């Protein structure tokens, strides 16, 4: 699901100064480009590499914006400076909150809200690192698909990215590695949280963000393939496309030896009805079985679409619960856990911010139900 209201905030941050354009580097700093080569688990999406991608969907208001999955930019290790400086850019947006999170030693310390106008701007954020040095990251905001769902073709995904970091001369950006990683696939119920509020980014307050905090605390990496509007039935990405995207993300994570793929897709298949009730679980089963043959050491956690206020029969006569039942019937030796979210104590009256997306209590309940499946 992707239909979220946006708080009317242009820049909202703690200790953030904004420059209206990107000046050239100075004062002993280099402008270091940030792309898929320096961000773990991030894949650039271009037609030349992924044939299902339409390069025309990288055009926003006449400006080209390079497309990636949602990611994290990590500053050089043991950072001791009391500020970071980076360039960031957002496409025009309808649903995304445009809020970047600055995270220091596993705690969110500042929020930077970037205008959705494709202009690259420079931001300086004051931080308080440990005297011995800190791990400093900037998390990209939640991504969403603004166009019609189940249109059978790749659609533009509104997004925001860090495009450069300003570092002391001669300093390079690290490409983090780890032996264990989680990859999250899902829709806005995975990535977002309602209500949207200033200085409370979706990227840290949603279930995926909370799971990333837990994973990084153990020294693991985390790859985000979730975006608002994701579907299996009728969406531009087939099961085979998803398999390729997962494989590319594994490589971008540095090919860790242990990978757990978490998939929660299905609400949009139900709500927008792009196929029969079997379409979503059939695609899911194909992904799991294909990965089992090509990457046998990697495993899956499946969680069903969570309860929603409206869950009766859709255009095909299928209820939301029937999609979950079909997913729970999927089998595979590489499935380590199947989580039926209807058993997680989620209340449609108290745990949903808009009848579909979790509020804080819903995020907490879903996370509590899931984390054991990952050993977290």
pLDDT band at 198; cut points 50, 70, 90 = confident
- Does residue 162 register a pLDDT over 70? yes
Q: Is the domain defined by 16-374 classed in CATH 3.40.50.1110?
A: yes
Report the percentage of the chain scoring pLDDT > 70: 90
- Taking only the tens place, the pLDDT of each residue in 281-316 is 888 899 999 988 877 788 999 999 999 999 999 888
Q: What is the pTM of this model?
A: 0.91
- Taking only the tens place, the pLDDT of each residue in 318-361 is 999 999 999 999 998 899 999 999 999 999 999 999 999 999 99
The reported pLDDT for the residue numbered 279 is 75
- Does residue 10 register a pLDDT over 80? no
The reported pLDDT for the residue numbered 25 is 44
Q: Is 333 exposed, middle or buried (0-12, 13-18, 19+ CB in 10 A)?
A: exposed
The reported pLDDT for the residue numbered 296 is 77
16 or 89, higher pLDDT: 89
CA–CA dist 120, 127 (Å, integer) = 22
- Does residue 13 register a pLDDT over 60? no
pLDDT band at 194; cut points 50, 70, 90 = very high
Inter-axis angle of helices 207-217 and 360-370, to 10 degrees?
A: 50
The reported pLDDT for the residue numbered 28 is 74
pLDDT band at 257; cut points 50, 70, 90 = very high
Average of per-residue pLDDT across 100-104: 98
Ranking 174-183, 276-285, 302-311 by mean pLDDT, the lowest is: 276-285
- Taking only the tens place, the pLDDT of each residue in 201-248 is 999 999 999 999 999 999 999 999 999 988 887 666 888 899 999 999
Scanning the chain, the segments in alpha helix (DSSP H) are: 188-191, 202-205, 207-217, 239-252, 267-272, 279-294, 320-328, 360-370
The reported pLDDT for the residue numbered 24 is 41
The reported pLDDT for the residue numbered 23 is 38
291 or 183, higher pLDDT: 183
- Does residue 15 register a pLDDT over 80? no
- CB–CB of 318/270 below 8 Å? yes
pLDDT band at 7; cut points 50, 70, 90 = very low
- Does residue 22 register a pLDDT over 80? no
Tell me what the pLDDT averaged over the chain comes to: 88
- Taking only the tens place, the pLDDT of each residue in 126-146 is 999 999 999 999 999 999 988
DSSP per residue, 14-28:
SSEEEESS-PPP-TT
Sign of CA dihedral 66, 72, 77, 78: positive
Average of per-residue pLDDT across 92-117: 96
- CB–CB of 2/189 below 8 Å? no
pLDDT band at 124; cut points 50, 70, 90 = very high
Q: Which residue has the tokens 């206020």?
A: 309
């Amino acid at each position: 699901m992707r239909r979220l209201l946006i708080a009317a905030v242009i820049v909202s941050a703690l200790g953030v100064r904004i420059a209206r354009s990107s000046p050239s580097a100075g004062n002993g700093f280099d402008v270091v480009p940030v792309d898929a080569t320096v961000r773990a688990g991030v894949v650039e999406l271009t037609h030349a590499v992924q044939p299902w991608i339409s390069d025309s969907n990288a055009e926003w208001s006449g400006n080209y914006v390079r497309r990636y999955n949602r990611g994290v930019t990590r500053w050089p290790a043991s950072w001791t400076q009391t500020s970071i400086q980076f360039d960031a850019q957002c496409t025009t947006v309808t649903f995304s909150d445009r809020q970047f999170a600055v995270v220091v030693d596993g705690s969110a310390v500042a929020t930077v809200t970037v205008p959705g106008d494709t202009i690259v701007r420079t931001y300086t954020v004051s931080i308080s690192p440990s005297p011995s040095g800190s791990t400093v990251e900037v998390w990209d905001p939640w991504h969403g698909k603004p166009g019609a769902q189940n249109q059978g073709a790749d659609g533009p995904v509104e997004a925001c990215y860090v495009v450069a970091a300003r570092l002391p001369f001669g300093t390079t950006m690290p490409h983090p590695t780890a032996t264990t990683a989680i990859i999250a696939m899902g829709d806005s119920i995975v990535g977002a949280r309602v209500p949207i509020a200033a200085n409370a980014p979706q990227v840290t307050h949603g279930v995926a963000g909370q799971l990333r905090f837990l994973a990084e605390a153990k020294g693991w990496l985390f790859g985000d393939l979730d975006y608002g509007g994701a579907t299996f039935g009728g969406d531009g990405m087939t099961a085979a496309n998803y398999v390729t995207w997962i494989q590319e993300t594994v490589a971008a994570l540095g090919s860790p030896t242990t990978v757990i793929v978490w998939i929660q897709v299905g609400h949009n298949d139900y709500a927008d009805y792009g196929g029969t009730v079997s379409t979503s679980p059939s695609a899911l089963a194909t992904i799991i079985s294909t990965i089992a043959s090509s990457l046998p050491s990697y495993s899956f956690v499946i969680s069903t679409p969570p309860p929603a206020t409206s869950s009766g029969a859709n255009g095909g006569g299928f209820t939301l619960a029937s999609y979950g039942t079909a997913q729970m019937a999927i089998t595979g030796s590489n499935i380590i856990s199947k989580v039926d979210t209807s058993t997680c104590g989620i209340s449609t009256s108290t745990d949903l911010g808009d009848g579909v997306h979790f509020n804080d209590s819903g995020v907490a309940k879903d996370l509590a139900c899931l984390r054991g499946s990952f050993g977290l």
